[in-house]
Amino acid sequence: MAPQKSSTDAVNRLHEIDREINLLNHTTALLNWDQETVMPRQGADERARQLELLEGLVHDRLTDARTGELLEAAGSTEEQPLGDPELPAEERAFLRALRRHYGRAVKLPKRLVTDFAREISTSQHVWAEARENNDFSSFAPNLKRLLELNIEKASAIGYADHPYDALLDEFEPWMTARKVGSVFADLREKLVPLAERIAEQQREDNDAFLRQSFPVEQQERFGKQVLEAMGYDFSRGRLDVSTHPFTTAVGGDDVRITTRYNPDYFQTSIFGTIHEAGHALYEMGIDPRFKESVLGEGTSLGVHESQSRLWENMIGRSISFWRHFYPQLRSHFPEQLGEVPPSQFIKAVNRVRPSLIRIDADEVTYSLHIILRFELEQALVTGDLSVRELPEAWNDGMERLLGVRPDSDQNGVLQDIHWAMGAIGYFPTYALGNLYGAQFYRAMERGLGDVDGRVARGELSAIREWLGEHIHRPGSSKTAAELLREVTGEELNPAYFTEYLEEKFRLLKEL
């Protein structure tokens, strides 16, 4: 049977609306990129109003009654988001993606959206000051308000099982707290003893040489060599500097990354650059047919993070990678690294040490920082934990999971900006990225064969192409769960990640 003409017409109209939304979003991305990289400080005031205006326009386009009518005419409802079963699969995926954005947007009362925006803009300043002064109590009222707004948001959006589901869905579509909880429970059980064992194994290692002067120009030159080898296309992107490194798509053929240089610690820039390039290759690898469409985006933050972490850790911190790149790095820094043998270098960039700060955490302990935040967020949302009790619960959790207790709230509950930005449900995507990444990597080994050997020969393009074909190309036309099933043949399984770590640190020990 052919699709009804009315559904085809409706889909075509929806493509026009979607295209405008996409162009507006990319314009917003450009203004944000500019703000973070080159905008003069005095530009901030008007920039905030420009961004607010654009976000308002997107919201209006999306929530316009016409959008809802057209979705309905194409057969897409909340229960059956894919719409008319006779439509081509790709159009149905388009309807599902657009319906999801529409559904979330129309359910939020305008008042809630503006309250959120206002609270977030003040909270970020209050949080920054509270962190600076190590004074949680000055931030607590803002956090309490943001938590209430999140709870209100969850009930406006609706959920079947747990209010956290409605919040998580914004960042990891169709994922549930129950699923994350069961996967994290497995993960935690394996990671806690593993982290202890590896830290013990490495107790005598010396990584003091990482802390010396590494001139920025050479760091930049080496970083660009790695980007070239990865196949980051400078005719469709650029590398700049910002305080907090990020990747942004300003267009389908304009995917920019930033990095940060620390002249006394070169790891920050090189691993940060590889990480962001992993995100960028994902965006650059999406099927060009999905350009200027909701399908032309990464399918979830977790899958996005799987690409950055796969490149940064599984490839960029591997023994094979440095077999190839260490001589190049050394040629940039003969004085600093001339006496450091490759094995010592590789062990040093893989140092595992329970620490207080998430963003400085190693590959093994990192996910434990996330598990803590996930547990606390759920307890806050259900009311089992109050904002007043939060710092203590944080410190207890750190002790329980990582065996270290923060000496201050600055190094504890106040360290991350996410809650001050109103984002509850975001953190799990970082650890999901580790898990998806390891599972994809194993599928790539089966499909491509000898991934390790290719990395050791510096043949990174074969890896980019495999990831492009299997993971990047579909964009948002497949959900994370569909992608995982199609590429790896199974559901999310945390065993791949822990097996990968076990194997890697066994090899490192023998090095």
Q: Does residue 276 carry a catalytic annotation?
A: yes
Query: 3: which DSSP letter?
Result: P
Longest Cα–Cα distance in the chain? 72
Cβ closest to Zn ion, residue 18 vs residue 305: 305
Provide, rounded to whole angstroms, the least separation between the CB of residue 279 and Zn ion. 6
Whose tokens are 């942004």? That residue is 248
Q: Which stretches of 177-266 are DSSP H helices? A: 177-201, 216-230
Which residue has its beta carbon closest to Zn ion? 308
> Is the CB of 246 or the CB of 265 nearer to Zn ion?
246
Specify the residue, 308 or 410, whose C-beta has the smaller distance to Zn ion: 308
With vertex at residue 120, the alpha carbon angle to CA 118 and CA 126, rounded to the nearest 5 degrees, is 110
Minimum distance from residue 290 beta carbon to Zn ion (Å): 21
Tokens 């500097």, located at residue: 241
Please state at what angle helix 495-510 crosses helix 428-448, rounded to 10 degrees.
Answer: 70
Residues written for the chain: 511
Total residues contacting Zn ion by CB under 5 A comes to 1
H-run or E-run covering 249: strand 247-251
By beta-carbon proximity to Zn ion, the closer residue of 142 and 308 is 308
378 binds Zn ion (CB under 5 A): no
| Tokens at 353, concatenated | 């040490």
Q: Is 259 in the site for Zn ion (CB under 5 A)?
A: no
Residue 45 CA neighbour count, 13 Å, CB half: 1
- How far apart are CB 309 and Zn ion at their closest, in Å? 7
306 binds Zn ion (CB under 5 A): no
Q: Which residue has the tokens 């998430």?
A: 358
Query: Do residues 215 and 265 touch, judged by C-beta distance below 8 A?
Result: no
Q: Which of 25, 28, 268, 308 binds Zn ion (CB under 5 A)?
A: 308
**Taking a C-beta distance cutoff of 8 angstroms, is the pair 150, 424 a contact?**
yes
Sheet holding 239-241, edge to edge: 239-241, 254-259, 247-251
CA angle 466, 323, 203 (to 5 degrees): 110
| Piece in contact with Zn ion (CB under 5 A), picked from 63-71, 104-112, 306-314, 445-453 | 306-314
Q: Which two tokens stand for residue 455?
A: 């990395």
Q: How far is the CB of 282 from Zn ion (least distance, A)?
A: 10
- Distance (Å, whole) CA 318 – CA 457: 13
Q: Which is nearer to Zn ion, 28 or 308 (CB)?
A: 308
- Cβ count within 10 A of residue 111: 9
User: Considering only CA atoms, which of 109, 15, 113 is closest in space to residue 67?
Assistant: 15
CB of 413 to Zn ion, least distance (A): 22
Q: How far is the CB of 374 from Zn ion (least distance, A)?
A: 17
**Of 22 and 308, CB closest to Zn ion:** 308
Q: Are β-strands 247-251 and 239-241 bridged in parallel, bridged antiparallel, or unpaired?
A: unpaired
Stretch that binds Zn ion, among 200-208, 307-315, 400-408, 409-417 (CB under 5 A): 307-315
Least distance in Å: CB of 77 to Zn ion? 34
| Residues 255 and 249 sit within 8 Å (Cβ to Cβ) | yes
If binding is defined by CB under 5 A, does position 150 make contact with Zn ion?
no
**One of 91, 172, 276, 297 is an active-site residue; which one?**
276
The nearer residue to Zn ion, 157 or 314, going by C-beta atoms, is 314
Contact positions vs Zn ion (CB under 5 A): 308
Active site residues: 276
